Structure 1
Amino acid sequence: MRIGLVGYGHGGRFFHAPLIATLPGATFVGVVTRSPERRQQLSTDLPGVKAFDSIGQIVEAGVDALVISTTLKGRPALVLEAIEHGVAVVSDKPFAANAEQARVLITAAERQGVLLSVYQNRRWDSDFLTLRKLIDAGALGAVTRFESRVERFSPQSVGNASGGGWLRDLGSHLVDQALQLFGPVDRVFAQLHYSAEHPSIDHGFFVSLTHANGVISHLWGNALQNSPAPRLRVSGTLGCYTVDGLDGQEDALIAGKSPKTEGEHWGSEEHRRWGWFEQGPERERVPSEKGCWTQFYRQWQAAVQGQGPLPVDAYEALETTRILDAARLSAERQQVVSTKIE
């Protein structure tokens, strides 16, 4: 399978290229980027991987699939261009600026008969996989509240519009995870945080989701948090699961590590980073499952070869986008917004 990458910014360079380059049975054809600086980075990072000027040029070189990892503003047009060339496409997240834009992409892919998926890689985070295992085993009983946070102190991120603001960019992960665990959402309430210097680009959010099954999801994101709360706190009738800190795959990739360099240790979390199960006075460590972002690409490869379903269905990403639209509307109106589909 021959794969091309469009974009070599932070996401393309660290969260896609190393995984594509180490995917068994795949050939990394090259990267579409015109930036001299990024072409030099590509040459240093992955000697032998060619740079291309355009999607048309890399398609002519022969690709079965393209991964689009550019800023949100220009990404939908590039996704459409790739679809028109008839190749399978992975869009980075957030999938689109709004649900209307997402529907246009899905319709185009269906019309052309090409596969379209969205890179919701945090479905394969260590903490999320561990939580799913606990829920599936009934260890928490009936879950009543799901609390999920991505909080950092990152002043340089304030005003960064590449992902459409923190709600779209990181909120897409948190909403996707909540939907995967607890299903459809009936009501949304949200608050967004802006700086005086960047009044249109949010750098923080709080979102409350009321799921149809009665579970309440509380989701936070913030670029200016000096004291982050637990990454996850999930309460059920039989106990509570908490875990601190983000999955380690992000830091590993930025540090130049990859599944190839780490082998069987890829995605493993140190014992001190494991979460806790608590019930009254009882407290015990919960061994973390291995994180595995590579699983997204393995499943996508199988889907393109007709051997399995897509790792992330585009309609699932559409539903996440619809909920994010409702959150922005809620914040604007300062009221609860119904998302129930009658």
Structure 2
Amino acid sequence: MIKVAVVGYGLSAKVFHLPFIAHSVEFTLIAISSSQIGQVQSQFPDIDVYDDAVQMIQQCDADLIIITSPNHTHFSLAKLALNAGKHLLLEKPMTATCGEALELADLAVQKSLVLSVYHNRRWDGDFLTLQQLIKAGELGEIKVFNSNFDRFRPQVRDRWREQPGAGTGILYDLGSHLIDQALCLFGAPESMTANCTKLRENATTVDYFQLQLHYARLEVVLQSSPFAAAPNIRFQLQGTKGSYIKYGLDPQEDQLREGVLPSAPAFGIEPPANYGVKYLANESGESLSVTKIETIKGSYTEYYAQLEMAINSGLNAPVNAYEGAKVIKLIELAQLSHATGERVAVDFSEFD
């Protein structure tokens, strides 16, 4: 049994982590650190509750620390946990800088500890479906990939993610997911061009981005906008034999927010109305077949299953620390491209 302590009791902890710990036979929750002590104690009367994350990490006998606190705290708390001999799950984005991420990755290796970053969107059902389509080769050689995570949030909200600070703004928040997915599909690009800006009135952090990743024979465009009120395209693949278009977001987050348990039969299953569509044509484009593609069942539970095997059996972490660091590297390069107005080369040699 893996004993777990969680730093933070906000949306991330409540929605994306605690439900999976509660419904796993391999993990048991022993402690939470939060400023909301009364609320935590009422929900979890049988665990230790701390008002100080540093104290919890130093004093509790957890095997695994899950850090869900604001992004600027990730590095210092993660370093403390690793030096205390704890395995570590870091909520994305891993850190505010690539230098911090690499320092943590190297430290985890030195300590022979698991450090995994919670890029759970690898287990979105639509992303799993996309991977399968590419692997099957039905669309031919992929030439263009568009990935959008748009929402309708025209007003700035009073929360730390939308306030100035290290690791805040939508590029770190949602951009980290889209970058990680692109790297999973296609590996490192040769170069990138980025526009990362503020579109909303009174915005103090980036709330819109468009990143273009340039490969030898492929273009990848990643985007997030706060002004998307209409049904939104999530993915679009264009290949030499056809295309695939997918609307709507994976259902798991909404289900978790609504209290659906990860063990529920309907968890992770997308309604047919949101299935993607595959369009295939002959070389002349004269013949076109249109096919709805059933979305593979999403499975954030698989992340935790793989994490357990990494800790107990020494298998690879579901998202290792160096993968998390590469995401931060591309975020930094996107910021550089926006600041200079230039296309920037992508060099991952420091990860070799």
Same-fold call, TM > 0.5?
yes
Q: 1:66 aligns to what SS in structure 2?
A: strand
Structure 1 residue 269 corresponds to structure 2 residue 273: no
Alpha carbons 1:32, 1:58 under 8 Å: kept: no
Alpha carbons 2:194, 2:210 under 8 Å: kept: yes
Q: How does 1:184-199 map to 2 (within 5 A)?
A: 184-194=188-198, 195-199=200-204
Q: How does 1:253-332 map to 2 (within 5 A)?
A: 253-260=256-263, 262=264, 264-280=265-281, 281-332=288-339
Alpha carbons 1:119, 1:312 under 8 Å: kept: yes
Aligned residue in 2 for 1:252: 255
Aligned residue in 1 for 2:96: 97
Aligned residue in 1 for 2:114: 115
Unmatched segments (≥5 aa) in structure 2: 162-166, 282-287
Query: How large is the Cα RMSD of the aligned pairs?
Result: 1.9
Q: Report the CA distance between 1:228 and its aligned residue.
A: 5.0
Structure 1 residue 214 corresponds to structure 2 residue 217: yes
C-alpha distance in 2 between matches for 1:185 and 1:291: 27
Give the fraction of aligned pairs with identical amino acids, expressed as a percent.
31
C-alpha distance in 2 between matches for 1:43 and 1:243: 42
Q: Return the TM-score normalized by structure 2.
A: 0.89
Q: Report the CA distance between 1:17 and its aligned residue.
A: 1.0
Q: Report the CA distance between 1:44 and its aligned residue.
A: 5.2
Q: Report the CA distance between 1:329 and its aligned residue.
A: 0.6
C-alpha distance in 1 between matches for 2:59 and 2:347: 45
Q: Report the CA distance between 1:115 and its aligned residue.
A: 1.5
Alpha carbons 2:15, 2:257 under 8 Å: kept: yes
- How many equivalent pairs are there? 335
Name the aligned partner's letter for residue 5 of structure 1. V
1:204-232 superposed Cα distances (whole Å, 9 cap, x missing partner): 10000013x52211000122322353000
Structure 1 residue 225 corresponds to structure 2 residue 228: yes
Name the aligned partner's letter for residue 233 of structure 2. P
1:219-253 superposed Cα distances (whole Å, 9 cap, x missing partner): 00122322353000011112111111110001011
Aligned residue in 1 for 2:164: none
Unmatched segments (≥5 aa) in structure 1: none
Q: How does 1:235-250 map to 2 (within 5 A)?
A: 235-250=238-253
Aligned residue in 2 for 1:204: 208
Q: 2:56 aligns to what SS in structure 1?
A: helix
Structure 1 stretches (4+) deviating beyond 6 angstroms? none
C-alpha distance in 2 between matches for 1:4 and 1:189: 40
Alpha carbons 2:139, 2:241 under 8 Å: kept: yes
Q: Return the TM-score normalized by structure 1.
A: 0.92
Aligned residue in 2 for 1:166: 170
Q: Report the CA distance between 1:309 and its aligned residue.
A: 1.0
Q: Report the CA distance between 1:193 and its aligned residue.
A: 2.2
C-alpha distance in 2 between matches for 1:312 and 1:179: 12
Name the aligned partner's letter for residue 194 of structure 2. A
Q: Report the CA distance between 1:291 and its aligned residue.
A: 0.4
Aligned residue in 1 for 2:23: 22
Name the aligned partner's letter for residue 305 of structure 2. R
Q: Report the CA distance between 1:161 and its aligned residue.
A: 4.1
C-alpha distance in 2 between matches for 1:161 and 1:56: 23
Q: 2:316 aligns to what SS in structure 1?
A: coil
Alpha carbons 1:151, 1:225 under 8 Å: kept: yes
Aligned residue in 1 for 2:49: 51
Alpha carbons 2:4, 2:29 under 8 Å: kept: yes
Aligned residue in 2 for 1:129: 128
Q: Report the CA distance between 1:156 and its aligned residue.
A: 4.9
